[in-house]
Amino acid sequence: MKNINNIKYTLSLALLFLTFSCNDVLVNEDPNGVVIDQLPPEVIFPGAQTVPSETFLSTMNGLGNTMVATWSGNAQQVQAPYFEEFQYQLTTDFYDNIWDNLMARTGNLTQIITNDYDGNYDYFKGASKIYRAFYFQYLVDLYGDIPFTDIHQRGDLLFPEYDNQVDVYVNLITDINEAITQIQSTDVETAIGMGSNDVMMGGNMNKWVKFGNTLKLRILLRMSDAAQTNPDLQTILNTEFAALNNAEFLGTGEDVTINPGYSDEVDRMNPFVETFGYAAGQFGNTANETFSNLRAGPTTYLVEFLNGTTNGVSDSRLQRLYAPRSGQSAIQGNTQGGGDQPSRIGPGLLSSPQQDGYIMTASESLFLQSEAVFKGLLSSGDARSLFQSAIASSFNRLGAPIGTYIMDSNNTSGIGWDGTADKLEAIITQKWIDLGGTNGIETWIEFTRTGYPSNMPLPDITNRPNRPIRLLYPTSEYTGNSANVSSYNQNVDSAFNSPIFWDVN
């Protein structure tokens, strides 16, 4: 895509070590400056980790929470909150910065992967492959076919061709396998450690391997239904799951987070806090909330789901996810597009301007493992125990007292293991509760894949009978890579009736 491959990079060493804002890392090239090809991975990697996470933690998170019944809008404070989202006005401009940012901002990872350096940088290269795969899975999950083989060649290839989405998924599995082998098989005596240059894991390579295995598990589960009618995919699935039976995944207390040194300053706060919380220097001052926080709040559906109205089971995570606004005696919701005033985002999601950003949670990993064991794809572990450990991990991360919740909910349909006929419904519904606000885009994708939670209401103001199932290719592609994108002949309806390959239900 022309607009991506024309990007050139100049990276000041001082700015790169800060790595707080995309403006610190990706700027126009100065012919007298230092070009990225001449910089070592120690300098590139912190920014390569940080800049794509800004889009993930804020834009993608917010979009996902509005595409399922998690967030509503504060109609009393802001005119027509989330109007486009709740009317499902999906166009080529709708959240187009997700494509533009992820495609461009993973370029530094590709640079580390492909460049030849003096010295043994296997740890940096392996971690970059895993982290890049994390974002490219989302690009496939949201758009389908994407450029992958030809990405990030800058001026050498201005118009990259699109790869088949199934092929990209398979290539991501290959990349993760190669990354894990690279990390585990390198010469430890000569390998250059990442240490503090790794703003996610602090150079903990065992955790990078666990992250890679967990990400591969998610990719395999996503494609597992499609594999039932595709012998080639089924062969890959069987081979990879056999290998994963002896693998380590992220476990309790092993959240994957990022923190390059967030501070209470403009453009240097945690991106979620800066987008959905408070202005710099005003954290907790409700008179100085950001525009997005003024309009974001829980849906009535979610509040009633968690306070016991719907199923008779009170869930203390509600008081950590949301908090009453001034004049409210209890947490309340609003329908999507309705006229009521929902409560605000709570302390379990907004703790400080310096809080860590969550890339993948331990609870998500445990839910994935539970699903794989339940489906017979993994033979190690107990699905019920993994499911309940995931719930406990969710409560712990949000700082909510779990009390007797697991026992109280166990026989309740939809949220408890023994009380739910289709265990997948309980797994995905609990994941929806857990990741709402933390990783909203994952909850939308998982709903599209599974249909759970199954009874979520549509927005009041949409004329569509169903939720969208994907995003449209952005305007930037039609202006910069039109020869390759135009053949897809997308229109507005494509967002509702052109499924991603794994969406077979």
Interval 281-328: pLDDT, tens: 988 887 766 666 667 899 999 999 999 999 999 999 999 999 998 889
Interval 332-386: pLDDT, tens: 999 999 988 899 999 999 999 999 999 999 999 999 999 999 999 999 899 999 9
Residue pair 29/10 in contact by the 8 Å Cβ criterion: yes
Q: How far apart are CA 86 and CA 459, in angstroms?
A: 6
What's the pLDDT at 284? Answer: 83
Other Cβ atoms less than 10 A from the Cβ of 114: the count is 11
Integer angstrom CA distances of residue 306 from 298, 362, 399, 443:
11, 21, 16, 16
> What is the value of pTM for the model shown?
0.92
**Residues in Cβ contact with 191 at an 8 Å cutoff, skipping those fewer than 6 apart:** 120, 121, 122, 123
Which residue, 136, 131, 128, 125, is CA-closest to 103? 136
Q: How far apart are CA 498 and CA 489, in angstroms?
A: 11
Q: How far apart are CA 102 and CA 118, in angstroms?
A: 28
What's the pLDDT at 93? Answer: 97
Q: How far is CA 450 from the centre of its chain?
A: 17
Residue pair 106/132 in contact by the 8 Å Cβ criterion: yes
Q: How far apart are CA 383 and CA 379, in angstroms?
A: 10
Integer angstrom CA distances of residue 393 from 184, 200, 349, 367, 402:
28, 20, 15, 10, 10
35: pLDDT confidence band, cut at 50, 70 and 90? low
Q: How far apart are CA 342 and CA 326, in angstroms?
A: 11
* Four-point Cα dihedral 455, 459, 465, 469, nearest 10: -80
pLDDT at 448 over 70: yes
Residue pair 62/441 in contact by the 8 Å Cβ criterion: no
Over range 173-181, report the average pLDDT. Answer: 98
Q: Are strands 357-360 and 256-258 parallel, antiparallel or unpaired?
A: antiparallel
Residue pair 214/249 in contact by the 8 Å Cβ criterion: yes
